[in-house]
């Protein structure tokens, strides 16, 4: 409806422009006739006046055609393309071949917009597909074990095993929902900027203790070197970074493995590195390791949902920091988080 109104307004503008051109042509014709008869005392008959009027009308027509081709036609093309976008076609592109710089710039901006919309649609489609799959897996598991519990021949050991698996998949489902909601809040900047001063080394220690049951079960040892560092930032969000990185290090470490953690200041940055003795990450996988729902090791897919590192990357980006990953020379890999050293905040507190 809006597009039709736009086209109607465009044609109305064109008609009015032609009428104005005819009026101007008539005035020019009369003006030229008057000048010839008044200044040069030349009697102008109707035939000469008609020729002058025809000449000026043709000139006006050429100007009108020029304006239509150079200005109005590109606008109509843009209107048609915008209508396609409104209908959900984000693959439409316009050729910025116009000699008018403003029209060329508009076409280029339009192409940039449609390319961004097309990419967003693809990401949204992939996100919905991945979310549906991640929800379906634990729900199917819960349903399956619940049906097994209904069996009359289930003994106590089997019952405990089924209940444990139901609880495990329930927690996985709960973690998935929590991570999706947190990612959504971060992407839409709905997390309030609640920055406080806190001890970063103590926060890392708390994360290690939080995962005690996991690393004790695998008899993992720690080599920890943490400088006493105060940091000004979002404490609750940053704890998600250490929890996820340490959880991954424990998950991929072998039984009896060693996890090394170092926290220090260097070059006006706060640097925290976490190394494990796991299988490492290939270069191809490193390029996607921070993508949503990406999991590099299929053998551990039942233990996560591929959102942990995406959360880490988003939180570190919001903190104006960087996160890098590289394989160690012998075995395992190292994640390094670099945060800006905001020592200036100490003077304000």
Confidence of residue 220 (pLDDT cuts 50, 70, 90): very high
- pLDDT for res 108: 83
- pLDDT for res 161: 83
- pLDDT for res 185: 67
Number of alpha helices (DSSP H) and beta strands (DSSP E) in the chain: 11, 7
Mean pLDDT of 1-21: 58
- Does residue 190 have a pLDDT over 80? no
At 33, list the tokens: 């006739």
Distances (CA, A) of 134 to 180, 251, 259, 293: 11, 19, 29, 9
pLDDT tens, 48-57? 556 555 666 6
Q: Would you call 199 helix, strand, or coil by DSSP? A: strand
Orientation angle between helical segments 308-318 and 156-187, nearest 10 degrees: 30
> Which is it for the CA torsion 259, 265, 266, 272, positive or negative?
positive
d(CA 43, CA 46) in angstroms, rounded, equals: 10
Q: Would you call 226 helix, strand, or coil by DSSP? A: strand
Contact assessment for residue 134 and residue 177, using Cβ atoms and an 8 Å cutoff: no
- Does residue 244 have a pLDDT over 50? yes
pLDDT tens, 143-165? 888 888 876 677 878 888 888 88
Confidence of residue 2 (pLDDT cuts 50, 70, 90): very low
Contact assessment for residue 8 and residue 15, using Cβ atoms and an 8 Å cutoff: no
Confidence of residue 276 (pLDDT cuts 50, 70, 90): very high
- pLDDT for res 255: 93
SS3 content of the chain, % helix, strand, coil (to 5): 65, 15, 25
Residues 6+ apart with CB under 8 A from 44: 33, 36, 37
Contact assessment for residue 154 and residue 148, using Cβ atoms and an 8 Å cutoff: yes
- Does residue 184 have a pLDDT over 60? yes
Confidence of residue 301 (pLDDT cuts 50, 70, 90): very low
Q: Would you call 272 helix, strand, or coil by DSSP? A: strand
- pLDDT for res 204: 93
d(CA 112, CA 36) in angstroms, rounded, equals: 57
Confidence of residue 70 (pLDDT cuts 50, 70, 90): low
pLDDT tens, 99-130? 667 777 888 888 888 877 776 666 566 555 55
Which CATH number is 196-347's, of 3.40.50.720, 1.20.120.420, 2.40.30.110, 3.30.565.10? Answer: 3.30.565.10
Confidence of residue 300 (pLDDT cuts 50, 70, 90): very low
**Summary mean pLDDT of the chain:** 75
DSSP string, 270-306: EEEEEE--S----HHHHTTTTSTT--S-GGGGGG--S
Q: Which of 282, 262, 281 is nearest to 272 (CA)?
A: 262
d(CA 101, CA 93) in angstroms, rounded, equals: 18
d(CA 49, CA 156) in angstroms, rounded, equals: 112
Mean pLDDT of 122-144: 67
Q: Looking at the whole model, is its pTM more than 0.85?
A: no
Confidence of residue 58 (pLDDT cuts 50, 70, 90): low
Of 37-51, 159-173, 219-233, the range with the lowest mean pLDDT is 37-51
């Amino acid at each position: 409806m809006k597009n039709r109104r736009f086209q109607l307004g465009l044609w109305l503008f064109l008609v009015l422009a032609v009428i104005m051109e005819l009026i101007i042509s008539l005035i020019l014709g009369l003006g030229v006739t008057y000048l010839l008869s008044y200044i040069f005392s030349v009697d102008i008959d109707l035939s000469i006046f008609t020729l002058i009027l025809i000449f000026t009308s043709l000139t006006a027509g050429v100007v009108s055609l020029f304006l239509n081709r150079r200005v109005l036609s590109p606008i109509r093309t843009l209107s048609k393309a915008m209508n396609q976008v409104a209908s959900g076609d984000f693959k439409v592109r316009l050729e910025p071949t116009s000699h008018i710089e403003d029209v060329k710039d508009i076409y280029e901006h339009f192409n940039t917009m449609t390319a961004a919309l097309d990419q967003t649609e693809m990401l949204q489609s992939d996100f919905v597909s991945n979310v549906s799959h991640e929800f379906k897996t634990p729900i199917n598991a819960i349903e399956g074990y619940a049906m097994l519990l209904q069996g009359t021949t289930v003994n106590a050991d089997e019952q405990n095993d089924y209940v444990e698996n139901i609880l495990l998949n329930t927690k996985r489902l709960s973690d998935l929902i929590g991570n999706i909601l947190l990612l959504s809040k971060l992407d839409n900047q709905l997390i309030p900027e609640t920055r406080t001063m806190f001890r970063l080394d103590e926060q890392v220690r708390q994360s290690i203790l939080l995962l005690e049951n996991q690393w004790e079960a695998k008899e993992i040892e720690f080599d920890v070197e943490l400088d006493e560092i105060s940091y000004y930032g979002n404490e609750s969000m940053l704890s998600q970074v250490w929890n996820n990185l340490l959880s991954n290090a424990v998950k991929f470490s072998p039984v009896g493995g060693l996890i090394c953690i170092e926290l220090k200041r260097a070059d006006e940055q706060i640097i925290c590195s976490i190394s494990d003795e796991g299988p490492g990450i290939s270069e191809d996988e490193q390029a996607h390791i921070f993508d949503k729902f990406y999991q590099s090791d299929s053998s551990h897919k039942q233990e996560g949902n591929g959102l942990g590192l995406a959360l880490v990357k988003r939180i570190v980006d919001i903190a104006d920091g960087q996160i890098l990953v590289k394989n160690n020379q012998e075995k395992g890999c190292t994640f390094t988080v670099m945060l800006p050293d905001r020592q200036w905040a100490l003077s304000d507190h």
